[in-house]
Amino acid sequence: MSTSLHIFVTGAGGFLGRHLCQALRAAGHRIVAPTSAQCDLRRRDSFAPWSGERFDRIYHLAAWTQAGDFCLQHPGEQWLRNQQLNTNILSWWAEEQRAAKLISIGTSCAYDPGLPLSEEHYLDGRPIESLFTYGMTKRMLWAGQDALCKQFGLRHLTLVPSTLYGPAYHADGRQLHFIFDLIRKIVSARRHNTTVELWGDGWQKRELIHMYDFVAAVLYLSDHSENTLVNVGAGEEHAIRTFAQLICEHTGFDPAMITYDTTRYVGARSKCLRTARLRRLMPDFKPVHLSVGLPPVIDWVSEQLVFRSKNSSPNPLTLTRVPQLEQGVKIVSEESDFSSGAVYEGS
Least distance to ligand NAP, CB of residue 163, Å: 4
The stretches of the chain forming alpha helices (DSSP H) are 15-26, 70-73, 75-96, 132-152, 178-192, 211-224, 240-251, 276-281, 290-301
The stretches of 153-239 forming alpha helices (DSSP H) are 178-192, 211-224
Least distance to ligand NAP, CB of residue 134, Å: 7
CB atoms within 10 A of CB 232: 28
Nearest residue to ligand NAP on Cβ basis: 14
Q: Is 163 helix (H, G, I), strand (E, B) or coil?
A: strand
Q: Are 114 and 270 in contact (CB under 8 A)?
A: no
Q: What is the DSSP letter of 195?
A: -
What residue ranges bind ligand NAP (CB under 6 A)?
10-11, 13-17, 35-36, 39-42, 61-65, 85, 105, 107, 161, 163-164, 177, 333-334, 347
Nearer to ligand NAP by Cβ, of 171 and 248: the residue is 171
Q: What is the DSSP letter of 304?
A: I
CB atoms within 10 A of CB 176: 24
Least distance to ligand NAP, CB of residue 246, Å: 18
Nearer to ligand NAP by Cβ, of 180 and 260: the residue is 180
Q: Are 203 and 240 in contact (CB under 8 A)?
A: yes
Nearer to ligand NAP by Cβ, of 102 and 189: the residue is 102
Nearer to ligand NAP by Cβ, of 128 and 189: the residue is 128
Least distance to ligand NAP, CB of residue 255, Å: 25
Least distance to ligand NAP, CB of residue 333, Å: 4
Nearer to ligand NAP by Cβ, of 229 and 258: the residue is 229
List beta partners, residue 231. 160
